[in-house]
Every structure is written in structure tokens, then in C-alpha cells.
Amino acid sequence: MTRRWSVWALATGALAMSAAAHAAPPTAAMLANACGGCHGTQGASAGPSMPNLAGQSKKALVEAMKAFKSGERSSTVMGRLTKGYSDADIVAMSEYFSKQKPTAYAQAVDAKKADKGGMLQEKHCGRCHVDDGQDFKDDAPIMAGQWLGYLQIQMDEYISGKRKMSEKMAEKVKHLSADDMDAIAHFYASEKMGETK
Amino acid sequence: MTMDRRSFIKLVGGASTVALAGCAGGPAVSSGAAAEIMPKSGRRVVVIGGGYGGTIAAKYVRMLDASIEVVLIERNRQYISCPFSNYYIGGLMKDLTPLTIGYDKLAADHGVKMVYEEVTGIDAAAKVVATKGGTLAYDRLIVSPGVDFRTEEIEGYTAETPSLMPHAWKAGEQTILLRQQLEAMPDGGKVVISMPLTPYRCPPGPYERACLIANYLKTQKPRSKLVLIDANPDVVSKKPLFTKAWNNYYNGIFEYVPGKKVTKVDAQHKTLVVEGIEDHQGDVVNFIPPQRAGRIAVAAGLVGDDKNWCPVDATTFESTKHKDIHVIGDAAVAGAMPKSGYSANSEAKVCATNVVALMNGKEITELSGINVCYSAISSSESISVAGVYRVEGGNIVGVPNSGGISPVDFSQAKLEHVYAESWLKNILTEMSA
């Protein structure tokens, strides 16, 4: 038995060595690892303008990447990159990141703005970004512990119209000023989520 | 780790070793003998080079299979990033701190064993790496040595040349020297950059450097001039974007001179000679020599027929020259993937995945790779190139209809400048924690 096992291991080892043709197609981890240079190891971002992907909702990630790919959502490199992946790849990467342990790096926020934002978000955002943004409904992303720099860029793009809002979001946001939006960003950034680094 | 006698010998090193070994009553060990640094007990991967490729390969092997011992050999206690070092040269960064990482967290959090030594040779048959401090046995070796300079092709180039005409193409002292020379130059002076034929490390790097030095001159020394002498017939990276930046922002200060290969230098007189006849003299001369794989890759016979770069399998990054040795990063021939920091990061993960699979007798996985590379064109704007890669017919190719450069209207340049800073933060954190 031991002998047969070792013969089998040698044979498969030799096959694997002989040609790349015997390699399996890229796994979800292989696809997702390549994103880490910008989004951090397993999607835990250390860069203030790069969103954390670790523990994010799979549905929100799929929607975001598909919107980048089609050009519906404006982007810098993401549109160019997502065009290199099939829809199945996008689903596999999204699932991979959604299963990673949420990790948030410590960041400085304005406590006064965060307090104001906390009150505003409950009324205006809480129906989709539920539990103070710690959880989500439908295709809404988890907001808690997200980088302030990233959130502020998104808020600016929503306000300027560069990034399109869903109808339900537009309905809520029309009652909010730019300062309100910024306060909400401070609130979500101030929220603890998963492991803090 | 308990300190065994051998690691003790390595730590005290040199001449005193002999006397101490004698006192302890053991066999005398001469400093020239190849003492083993850490005897190998279980399965071991040794990684050479703690830069953009090596750190990631070491970390990911440990993340994928903690039963494999990983030893990372690096000659310096700290690593200084070449990407973004043009920010420092152009005065946009006050010191090199944002570019500097150490290895303590890689050791503490991932159990990577650090050996701070200079590698002197690789015995591919015996599967042993030799360093100045002793030897290390391996089951698989990952070599990520970066680049070395082909200075023997340049007439007049001596060991002293870089101290007079800094290349600043390996970050650290050379980076600091180039900035000092720029700062010391009076207004009205002339700066000359010379860049080699492809392939060389970081295709857009010289053009970004031209932008940031021009930006420094424009704001600090506006009567000065900058010339970029390119050995290539045309701009080889992000051409429409760099050309536009030079025309729009640095007209009157900057001149691009393509198709001029420097064959001779006269460092004392800060003069470059093109094809043996045409002189280019400057007050500050940044001469970037032609390149090849890092010295150890050449010494170990890992380079291909061109004698410069290391051919590898496109899935495992195993050398086609030597079994059980993998080469990643700038030194490797990685098809369509450019010689960039991000490529090295991406290649390292593919290599680690397949090294672990091979050591466990599991099926290997096809490469899926990315390159994302930002270049600053001014103090507040950056441009990028992005690509997605896969294997077709045994070669690494760009996925059709994907990737590409920033829009030429610079509509995203301010935003990309912000994202570029997070790129640096994330990629250096990946390498060091």
C-alpha cells in the first residue's frame, strides 16, 4: 500500500513537472491573490483610498466589478482590469473576498462629524446599510470600518454625478448636504469591524 | 529558537570563531569553511532576496503551508523601495522613510526565518546555497535577485563612476546622492539622464524621473535644462501620456532625445559619449546602465542564451536551466509581464502557490497575474498602466481587450495620484506584515 502510494505520488509529481498543460485553471485564490498588491493581503487594505474587500458582501462585490467592467461605474484602473476576467471569475473572486476575515486598520476620524453622521445614517441609510453599516441588505455594501479616504471619494463622485446612485439611494440622498454626506463617511469609518490592525 | 553552536559561530564570525571553537573543545572551524547556518530537519524553501518578489514568495509559502520551513536570505536589514524613489529625487518626499521596510513582522507573524547574509553561490546539484556566513540546504529555492548592471559594456565605467554619475536605479544611497547633486546644482545648470535599451527594470521609471526632475527644475531652478537620452528609438512605456506631460508642463525645460545609445562615459568630466562620437555633458548626469538579472542568478547559471535574463516555466516559475530552482521578479523572463514591482508581487504569489503544490504532490494551478503601475507626472498628478495576464501555449500573455493606460485627457490624473499613494502603502505592507 505504502509503495503504491509513493509510485502514484511520483507519477503525478512527474506529470505536474513536465508541462504547464497539466495545470488546473486558476482557482479563486489564484485570481484574488493578484489583487492584493493594491487591496492588501486577502483584501485587508492598508491604503486610505483603497477599499477593504475582506468580509465584504459577495453580491456587492459582484455588482461593483460588473459595473466597472461594463463602464457603468466610473473608475481608473478597475475598468481596465475587470475586462480581463469572465463573469465566472468575478463571482469566484467576490466569493473569495467575502469569506475573508474582516480586518480594519486603525484610522483617524473627526469625532464630532462621526457623531452627527451616526444620527443621520440611521434615518437615511440604515434601511439598506443595516446595523449601523455593519451588515447589508440586498446589493448594499458593508460600510463599517471602511477607509475614510475611499468613502469620501465615493461621496464626492455621487454628489458630482460621476458615480450613479440607485433610485432608492438617490431618494434618500436628496435630503442630505455635502457636509451631511461627509459626516456619514466619518461615522462609517469610525465603526469597528472585525480585527483591528 | 535555541542557539546551537553553529549559529553561534555565525554570529561571532571571523577570526574569533576559531579561538572560541577551540576553547569549547570542539573541532576547530576555520572562517573559510562552509559551516551550515541552520541544519535542515523538515521540508524547506529558501528564498534569495527580500524585495518585491522574495518577501511575498516567503510569506505566501508560509500562509499556504505552515509545515514548510521558509528561510529568507537578504543582505540588508532594511529594504528601500525603488518604486516611488523618483518622488524623493524630485523633492516630493522629504526622506526615504515612506519607502523603507524591515523584516521583523514577516518573521514574527509568518514565521519566516531571516538570514542576513550575502549569497556567494548556489550548488544546484547538492541543493545548497552558500553565503559569506555559511551554507543553507533547500528542497526548493526561489531566487528573486533583481537586476545587476552590464557596466562592462560601457567604456570608461569604473567602480567610482556611480559616485560621480549616480544611476539611482537601486534605491538607497544612490537615490540620496542624485538628489544631493540636483540640490547642489546652481540655477541655469544642465541635467542629463541616460537610459538603456529594453528590457530593463521598470519601463516607465526613466520617463517618470524626467517628469519629476523637470518639475523640480521648473519650480526651484527655472533657468535650468533637462535632457533625457533614450537608447530606444521611441518612448517605450505610456508614450501618449508622457509625451503630453512633457509638452504641456515642461516645454522649454525638457528635451527628449531618442535613439542614442551611450557607449562610453567620462565620469570626471560628467560626459556621456553616444556611439563613440557624440558627447553629452551635464552638471548632473544620471547614467542608468544596461541591465541583466542579479549577479547571483548569473553566477548560478540561471540565465538563458542571452546571458542576461532567466528563462522560467510560465506556471511554476521553475528555471528551465536548473531543477528545483524558481526565479521571479525583474530577473525572470515572464512573457508579457513587465519588469515591475507589481509584477514581481503577482509572480511571487503564483510561484509560491505552485511550489507548495509541487512539494505536496498536488496539481499545479495556471497563472493569473496583474500589473498595476503608477507614474507621477507632476506634484499632484499621476498616470497608470494596468494589465491582466494568463498563460496561452506555455507563454504569459496579456488577456485580450483588457488593461491599458490612463485616458490621455488627464481627466483621472489627480485621482490616480491619490490612488498611487495607497498603492505604495498596500504593496509595502503586503511585503512587510
**Tens digits of pLDDT across chain B (433 residues):** 344 434 333 333 333 333 333 333 333 334 445 799 999 999 999 999 999 999 999 999 999 999 999 999 999 999 999 999 999 999 999 999 999 999 999 999 999 999 999 999 999 999 999 999 999 999 999 999 999 999 999 999 999 999 999 999 999 999 999 999 999 999 999 999 999 999 999 999 999 999 999 999 999 999 999 999 999 999 999 999 999 999 999 999 999 999 999 999 999 999 999 987 889 999 999 999 999 999 999 999 999 999 999 999 999 999 999 999 999 999 999 999 999 999 999 999 999 999 999 999 999 999 999 999 999 999 999 999 999 999 999 999 999 999 999 999 999 999 999 999 999 999 999 999 9
The sheet with strand B134-137 has its strands ordered as B119-123, B128-131, B134-137
* Domain assignment present for B393: no
Report ipTM for this prediction: 0.90
CA dihedral B27, B32, B36, B37 (to 10 degrees): 110
Domain that holds residue B29: 1-33
CB of B427 less than 8 A from some CB of A: yes
> What does the block give as the cell for B87?
518622488
> What does the block give as the cell for B154?
560601457
Residues B45, B113 contacting (CB under 8 angstroms)? no
Residues A50, A153 contacting (CB under 8 angstroms)? no
CB of B415 less than 8 A from some CB of A: yes
Task: Tell me which CATH code domain A108-192 carries.
Answer: 1.10.760.10
Q: What is the DSSP letter of B97?
A: G
* Domain assignment present for B392: no
pLDDT of res. B240 = 98
Q: Which long-range contacts (CB under 8 A, 24 or more apart) does B29-34 make?
A: B34/B130, B34/B134, B34/B135
CB of A106 less than 8 A from some CB of B: no
CB of B315 less than 8 A from some CB of A: yes
Residues B36, B134 contacting (CB under 8 angstroms)? yes
User: Are B177 and B201 within one domain?
Assistant: yes
Q: Which residues contact B90 (CB under 8 A, 6 or more apart)?
A: B209, B211, B212, B213, B215, B216, B376
What residue ranges do the domains of chain A occupy? 25-105, 108-192
Domain count, chain B: 3
CB of B364 less than 8 A from some CB of A: yes
User: Are B284 and B299 within one domain?
Assistant: no
CB contact under 8 A, A37 and B364: no
CB of A196 less than 8 A from some CB of B: no
CB of A35 less than 8 A from some CB of B: yes
For chains A and B, CB pairs below 8 A equal: 156
> What does the block give as the cell for B172?
538607497
User: Are B285 and B175 within one domain?
Assistant: yes
- Best of B415, B421, B431 to disrupt the A interface by mutation (most A CBs within 10 Å)? B415
CA dihedral A125, A131, A134, A140 (to 10 degrees): -40
> What does the block give as the cell for B81?
523601495
Amino acid letter, A149: G
Of A152, A153, A150, A130, the residue nearest A140 (C-alpha): A130
CB contact under 8 A, B403 and A40: no
CA distance A168 to chain B (A): 27
- Best of A52, A81, A93 to disrupt the B interface by mutation (most B CBs within 10 Å)? A81
pLDDT of res. B27 = 38
The sign of the torsion formed by the CA atoms of A82, B99, B112, B104 equals negative
Facing B315 at nearest CB: one of A23, A34, A35: A23
Facing A47 at nearest CB: one of B363, B365, B423: B423
CA distance B259 to chain A (A): 31
Which residues of chain A make contact with B350, given a CB cutoff of 8 A?
A: 30, 33
Residue at grid coordinates 498596500:
B426
CB contact under 8 A, B361 and A38: no
Please identify, among B364, B379, B402, the residue that sits at the C-terminal boundary of a domain: B364
CB contact under 8 A, B367 and A26: yes
Q: Which residues contact B67 (CB under 8 A, 6 or more apart)?
A: B42, B43
User: Are B358 and B265 within one domain?
Assistant: no
* Domain assignment present for B383: no
The sign of the torsion formed by the CA atoms of A28, B341, A52, B414 equals negative
Query: pLDDT tens, A32-90?
Result: 999 999 999 999 999 999 999 999 999 999 999 999 999 999 999 999 999 999 999 99
Q: Is the peptide bond before B240 cis (omega within 30 degrees of 0)?
A: no
* Domain assignment present for B215: yes
Instruction: List beta partners, residue B398.
Output: B389
Coil, strand or helix: which one is B394? Answer: coil
Residues present in chain B in total: 433
CA dihedral A62, A64, A65, A69 (to 10 degrees): 130
Cα–Cα–Cα angle for B376, B381, B384, rounded to 5 degrees: 55
A17, closest residue in chain B (CA to CA) = B358
Amino acid letter, A191: E
Q: How far is CA B219 from CA A25, A163, B184, B216, B253, in A?
A: 52, 35, 15, 5, 11
CB contact under 8 A, A81 and B401: no
CB of A27 less than 8 A from some CB of B: yes
CB contact under 8 A, A38 and B390: no
Residue B49 sits at φ, ψ, to 5 deg, of 105, 115
Q: Are strands B325-327 and B368-376 parallel, antiparallel or unpaired?
A: unpaired
Coil, strand or helix: which one is B392? Answer: strand
CB contact under 8 A, A50 and B419: yes
> What does the block give as the cell for A188?
462609517
Q: Exposed, middle or buried: residue B269 (CB in 10 Å: 0-12, 13-18, 19+)?
A: exposed
B404, closest residue in chain A (CA to CA) = A80
Amino acid letter, B398: G
Residues B357, B338 contacting (CB under 8 angstroms)? no
Residues present in chain A in total: 197
Q: Is the pLDDT of residue A17 over 80?
A: no
CB contact under 8 A, A20 and B372: no
**Percentage of chain A exceeding pLDDT 90:** 83
CB of A77 less than 8 A from some CB of B: yes
CB contact under 8 A, B365 and A30: yes
CB of A49 less than 8 A from some CB of B: yes
B403, closest residue in chain A (CA to CA) = A80
* Domain assignment present for B404: no
pLDDT of res. A195 = 77
- Assign residue B75 the CATH number of its domain: 3.50.50.60
CB of B355 less than 8 A from some CB of A: no
Q: Which long-range contacts (CB under 8 A, 24 or more apart) does B276-281 make?
A: B280/B192, B280/B194, B280/B227, B280/B229, B281/B190, B281/B192
Q: What is the 3-state secondary structure (H, E, C) of chain A?
A: CHHHHHHHHHHHHHHHHHCHHHCECCCHHHHHHCCHHHHCHHHCCCCCCCCCCCCCCHHHHHHHHHHHHHCCCCCCCHHHHHCCCCHHHHHHHHHHHHCCCCEECCCCCCHHHHHHHHHHHHHHCCCCCCCCCCCCCCCCCCCCCCCHHHHHHHHHHHHHCCCCCCHHHHHHHCCCCHHHHHHHHHHHHHCCCCEEC
* Domain assignment present for B204: yes
CB contact under 8 A, B402 and A77: no
Which residues of chain B make contact with A36, given a CB cutoff of 8 A?
A: 345, 349, 426, 430
User: Are B176 and B276 within one domain?
Assistant: yes
Q: Exposed, middle or buried: residue B27 (CB in 10 Å: 0-12, 13-18, 19+)?
A: exposed
A153, closest residue in chain B (CA to CA) = B415
CA distance A160 to chain B (A): 14
Domain A25-105 has CATH 1.10.287.70: no
Where in B139-260 does DSSP place strands (E)? 140-143, 147-149, 190-195, 225-230, 254-257
Of B400, B379, B378, the residue nearest B388 (C-alpha): B400
CB contact under 8 A, A37 and B403: no
CA distance B9 to chain A (A): 37
CB of A7 less than 8 A from some CB of B: no
Residues A29, A96 contacting (CB under 8 angstroms)? yes
* Domain assignment present for B46: yes
pLDDT of res. B33 = 53
Please identify, among B305, B334, B364, the residue that sits at the C-terminal boundary of a domain: B364
Query: pLDDT tens, B347-405?
Result: 999 999 999 999 999 999 999 999 999 999 999 999 999 999 999 999 999 999 999 99
Confidence tier at A105 by pLDDT (50, 70, 90): confident
* Domain assignment present for B234: yes
Residues B311, B320 contacting (CB under 8 angstroms)? yes
CB contact under 8 A, B368 and A37: no
